[in-house]
Amino acid sequence: MSDSDTRDPTSLRTPIVAVLGHVDHGKTSLLDKIRGSAVIEGEAGAITQHIGATAVPLDVISSIAGELVDPDDFDLPGLLFIDTPGHHSFTTLRSRGGALADIAILVVDVNDGFQPQTLEALDILQRSQTPFIVAANKIDTVPGWNANEDSPINATYEAQSDRVRSRLDESLYEIIGNLSDEEFSADLYWRVQNFQRNVGVVPVSAMTGEGVPDLLAVMMGLSQRYMKEEMEIDVTGPGVGTVLEVKDEKGFGKTIDIVLYDGTIRADDTIVVGGTNETIVTDVRALLQPRPLAEIRTESRFEKVDEVPAAAGIKVAAPDLGEAIAGAPVRIVRDRELEDVIEEVEAELASIAVDTEEEGVVVKADTLGSLEAMADALEEAEVPIVRAEVGDIAPRDVSVASTADDTKQQAILGFNVDVLDDAEQRAEIEDVRVFSDEVIYQLIDEYEEFVDELERAQQDTILENIIRPARFRILPDHTFRQNDPAVVGVEVNSGTIQNNTNVVKFDGNEPERVGQIKGIQEQGEDVDEARAGNRVSVAIDGPTVGRQIEEDDELWTEIPEKHGKILEQELASEIPGDELEALNMYLDKQRSRDPFWGK
């Protein structure tokens, strides 16, 4: 056992830091630099490698940051970095209804500026109300840069030539401008007075360590000033945490990697975990953490520990964890009533349950938090959801999607998940569209493009089968045959005349059918239709010129009432302006005798 029972039960925990940003902008390099700097400073023993996280204590931060961080000014014990930065969805992992991370670093490449995942990360930070700072990374790649390893940014900035400083300033102000476009007030960190209202931008290099002292100083300053009260926890109390990942571990079976943000977890505790079908109640078999400074993503040798206080990342081995969900709450029972703890977990799960409807798309995501972010974004886009779950896209998801009545909803949207092979094959057979992306808004854009295409195709099909409006006039001295059929020259005034459509002539507002178009010729060639402005000869089966029709008569294509309604209510934006004009004139005539015609 550790000495946690002898400590003051109220203690300040380490703030949890998430690192976000577009792929290749240097998230992992930045974390590696912070860890590496600690090793160079001879502080390797002080760094604790957790599961899915790295704890950097205050004295290590002080030794890296130099005069920028005086340990006497701080009560907080240091920073806990979530070190699997490839999954930017970690900021949507929740802790009691908020984001799991207390604070975040958004990494932006000074050369590339804002990219899709940068915008995605900002959206997540805004939704979860997580305070953040921007690390403007790769300053060492500015042409002509003269590196000063591990130095604070002001010292290295002043040492550069005017031209280099000017180039860097240009990139930094572009990033500040991008932030402004996304409605964040931002400036270079040394100009920011209030970090709650303004985002600080810290120029850094993950390669040379320049600006890293400033980054750590700002993170500590922000945490100390604005989060001290939130960091107060009862260290000896029963632990509270969030599942990061569910993993198979050799010798232990299914395990959960968790971030503990309150209390303590012990090797003999009973835990309650959110599960796919029902809440899991199980007993801890082992608490596992990597050996010192081992890299968790490649290191499989763990050591067992008796207990772990917050904040920490730890692997929990216990029976029945196969159904645990990434992003779900974890609660330690200890001296509380089991039913009360189960109720707590279920209430938290219910608070992030996605509202589903009778009809809609199927949604899959990697964690509960990102599932919730997806649901919010789809609600904004007015896309209904029929099923929403954590996990890879499986055949049963295809089965659900395939039963939708509306073709637009025969779709699955997967965020940050894999598509299982048999699901992919099934989707092809069932004609279910699968959309998969690591950026939420791109995923929704792709789906909306598909819907637009589908609607266009459907409207084209309807238009093909609908009788189009047209107004045309028989030209004087253009009777080529009087009857059986009558062949006359006409000018199309508006709309489109088509073969095999009925023709009417209005007597006042009373329509009278005079025959049917049985052929259209333009300059001696047979055509299927003629548009406004064209002069063509038409064969009209039924009338005789001089009796039912006369030269100079205005004739109309007869539009069935149902077609008039569809044209007006569904296709008005799809037909040309002159055709719409012909339709409106036709409707006016019909409605002057029957006000409800075509409504």
Q: Do the beta carbons of residue 489 and residue 480 sit within 8 Å?
A: yes
340 in the same domain as 371: no
What is residue 292's predicted lDDT score, i.e. its pLDDT? Answer: 58
Separation of alpha carbons 18 and 142, rounded Å? 27
Asked whether residue 221 falls in the same domain as residue 270, the answer is no
pLDDT on residue 45: 46
Same domain, 82 and 45: yes
Whether residues 226 and 371 share a domain: the answer is: no
Q: Is residue 374 domain-resident? A: yes
CA distance 479 to 556: 18
Question: Does any domain span residue 598?
Answer: no
Instruction: Assign residue 104 the CATH number of its domain.
Output: 3.40.50.300
- Put the strands of the sheet holding 302-305 in their side by side order: 280-283, 270-273, 329-332, 240-249, 253-262, 312-317, 286-290, 302-305
pLDDT of residue 1: 34
Residues 222 and 253 occupy one common structural domain: no
Q: How many domains does the chain have?
A: 4
Separation of alpha carbons 97 and 464, rounded Å:
52
Say what the pTM is: 0.71
Alpha-carbon dihedral sign for residues 288, 253, 396, 392: positive
Q: Is residue 356 in a domain?
A: no
Does residue 380 share a domain with residue 304? no
SS3 track for 300-356? CCEEEECEEECCEEEEEECCCCCCECCCCEEEECCCCCHHHHHHHHHHHHHHCCCCC
Structure tokens at 360: 């809609």
Domain end call among 233, 264, 288: 233
Boundary of a domain, candidates 233, 256, 285 = 233
332 and 372 share one domain:
no
Q: Which residues are annotated as a binding site for GTP?
A: 21-28, 83-87, 137-140
SS3 of 449, please? helix
Let me know whether 104 and 221 are in one domain. Answer: yes
260 occurs within a structural domain: yes
CA-CA-CA-CA torsion sign (15, 20, 25, 28): positive
Whole-number percent of the chain with pLDDT over 90: 65
Please, are residues 467 and 542 in contact by the beta-carbon 8 Å criterion?
Answer: no
Cα atoms found within 13 Å of the Cα of residue 239, Cβ hemisphere only? 32
User: Which residue among 408, 436, 461 closes a domain?
Assistant: 461
- Whether residue 125 is contained in a domain is answered as yes
CATH number for 538 = 2.40.30.10
Provide the residue-wise pLDDT of the chain in tens; the chain has 599 residues.
Answer: 334 344 456 688 999 998 888 878 888 888 888 877 555 554 444 556 677 788 888 988 998 898 999 999 999 999 998 865 544 455 566 676 667 889 999 999 999 999 988 888 888 888 778 899 999 999 999 999 999 999 999 999 999 999 999 999 999 999 999 999 999 999 999 999 988 899 999 999 999 999 999 999 999 999 999 888 889 888 889 999 999 889 998 889 999 999 999 999 999 999 999 998 899 999 999 999 876 554 444 445 788 999 999 999 999 999 999 999 988 999 999 999 999 999 999 988 887 778 889 999 999 998 888 888 899 889 989 999 999 998 899 999 999 999 999 999 999 999 989 999 899 999 999 999 999 998 888 899 999 999 999 988 887 777 778 898 999 999 999 999 999 999 999 999 999 999 999 999 998 888 999 999 999 999 989 999 999 999 999 999 999 999 999 999 999 999 999 999 989 988 888 889 999 999 999 999 999 989 999 88
Q: How far apart are CA 493 and CA 582, in angstroms?
A: 9
Beta strands 312-317; 253-262: pairing state: antiparallel
| Residue 40 and residue 175 in one domain | yes
CATH for 374: 3.40.50.10050
Contact between residue 257 and residue 247 where contact means Cβ atoms under 8 Å apart: yes
Distance CA 286, CA 306 (A): 8
In terms of residue numbers, what domain contains 495? 470-593
Report, in angstroms and rounded to the nearest whole number, the Rg of the chain calculated over CA atoms. 35
99 part of a folded domain: yes
**Amino acid 583: pLDDT:** 95
- Helix, strand and coil percent figures for the chain, each rounded to 5: 35, 30, 35
Q: Cβ(108)–Cβ(172) under 8 Å? A: no
DSSP character for 190?
A: G
Query: Please, is 10 exposed, middle or buried when counting C-beta atoms within 10 Å of its C-beta (0-12, 13-18, 19+)?
Result: exposed
- Report yes or no on 599 lying in a domain: no
317 in the same domain as 174? no
- Residue 66 domain-assigned (yes or no): yes
Is 382 in the same domain as 295? Answer: no
Supply φ then ψ for residue 389, to 5 degrees.
-145, 160
- Do residue 241 and residue 229 come from a single domain? no
pLDDT of residue 22: 82
